[in-house]
Amino acid sequence: MSDSKNTRNGRPGARGPERRKPATPSNRPAAVQPARRIALEVITAVREDDAYANLLLPTKIAAARLDTSDAGFATELTYGTLRLRGYYDRVIELASGRPIDEIDGVVRDILELGAHQLISMRTATHAAVNESVELARQHASRSATGFVNGVLRGITRTPASEWLDRAMESAADDDERLAVASSHPAWIIRAFRRALTADGVSDTDLAFELDDLLEADNTPARLSLAALPGLIDREEVGEGTEPAPLSPIGLRAPTGDPAGIAAVHAGTARVQDEGSQLAALALSRARPVEAGERWLDLCAGPGGKTAVLAAEARLGGAVVIANEPVPARAGLVRRAVEALPEPPEVWERDGTAIGTDAPESFDRILVDAPCTGLGALRRRPEARWRKTPGDVAELVALQQRLIDSAVRALKPGGLLAYVTCSPHVAETRGQVQGALRRWDGQLEQLDAQNVLREITSDAVVLGGPDAAVQLWPHRNTTDAMFIALFRKTTA
């Protein structure tokens, strides 16, 4: 639905002033397009309830029965606003003369949504402003409607191309200027710079690589699918899909609702980033599978990697157990694997205690550890505003406990894959070095780069100074997945 269709003065169905009563809060018609209403609901839920936009938005779109056009509009409104909210907040501060933290939460959400339409989308000014004012009338105070109207009209008085210059001029230093321009918190920019350096990027190339990475984070990812081995060949999925460049089970899918693809609906193919596929395949294909092996996915939710591991294990006669301590996420794991003829058992245990409860019980273990999620910002843009530097230390401590539990639960000679969807050095190479120190003489690192070269037929650009693999969105068009492989050497 276009913004101008059946619309006069931003209110659908208006027939002219001679037939319209004076607009008052009691009789003024609600003129907000459903796509805008849904986008605001998701953005507010992300801010207030720590909701995940990628889970909530499809549910709301389906419940509202939006057509393809309006669903696409709602998606761009939601993800575009969340992705660039740091930049829009600076613009709003300049246009309002008020610090962003002094603006009421839902009013801030409405202003960010309006700013996205005015600055980054080809949205009619009257539609963006009028419907934002109507959202403020419905969700905030009467005074907020005038404030929203004034700020957004102030934004329209400066060309969109000039706002970036004005915003950057207000920054205090180079990192803050880059943070404004890329709409990333400055601490994440510094973490990315350290991660690129740790991955072998030279000082000469660092600024260019960082710019490319930040740009890739702000570019929506293409829809990727995994064809579960033994259930369907990727050539059989069809419906406009094409083989992915890196993963041997991966596909690139056309835009739209993936549930409309028959194989996805049946569960034999799943929406999954290629980096996640490679992380699971690195463990399952690091060496030939022997019948009777027992595998453990220690941190299984929401179940994408579990599904790949279980399909691979089934072909080799191995058995997979999935563990996910959060009941709701354990339910997602069960749904992820229900298409398999014999779905794996799903535990709901404390992963840090499994090594003590079940010592030397598994031949292969995947530790897809909880992390900051900085590697998936193009898919989950709100994650950049969700985490703070203070979260890293707590996550690193948990990751260490999970690694140690996995080593205890691993049989001598067993394989361990440590995976994070983050390039942060403390969560990646720092954890590898720490595990090798703590388990000196009992754990050796394997060459994950060689394993992935064989899996991908050398299609993936690897590099890096050691045996671990750090994928990057700007190099590999995947999430920034980190993969390290180990073998337990002694009892």
Q: Which residues are catalytic?
A: 421
How many angstroms separate the CA atoms of 482 and 94, rounded?
39
Return the structure tokens found at 460.
């993936």
The whole-angstrom separation of Cα 162 and Cα 282 is 47
Q: Would you tell me the crossing angle of helices 34-49 and 105-120 to the nearest 10 degrees?
A: 130
Q: 107 is written with which tokens? A: 């009013």
Task: Specify whether the CB–CB gap between 354 and 323 falls below 8 A.
Answer: yes
What is the SS3 string spanning the chain? Answer: CCCCCCEECCEECCCCHHHCCCCCCCCCCCCCCHHHHHHHHHHHHHHHHCCCHHHHHHHHHHHHCCCHHHHHHHHHHHHHHHHCHHHHHHHHHHHHCCCHHHCCHHHHHHHHHHHHHHHHCCCCHHHHHHHHHHHHHHHCCHHHHHHHHHHHHHHHCCCHHHHHHHHHHCCCCHHHHHHHHHCCCHHHHHHHHHHHHHCCCCHHHHHHHHHHHHHHHCCCCCCEEEECCCCCCHHHHCCCCEECCCCCCEEECCCCCHHHCHHHHHCCEEECCHHHHHHHHHHHCCCCCCCCCEEEECCCCCCHHHHHHHHHHHHHCCEEEEECCCHHHHHHHHHHCCCCCCCCEEECCCHHHHHHHCCCCEEEEEEECCCCCHHHCCCCCCHHHHCCHHHHHHHHHHHHHHHHHHHHHEEEEEEEEEEECCCCHHHCHHHHHHHHHHCCCCEEEECHHHHHHHHHCCCCCCCCCCCCEECCHHHHCCCCCEEEEEEECCC
Peptide bond into 243 cis (omega under 30): no
- Residues 404 and 438: beta-carbon distance below 8 Å: yes
Contact yes or no for 264/270 (Cβ under 8 A): yes
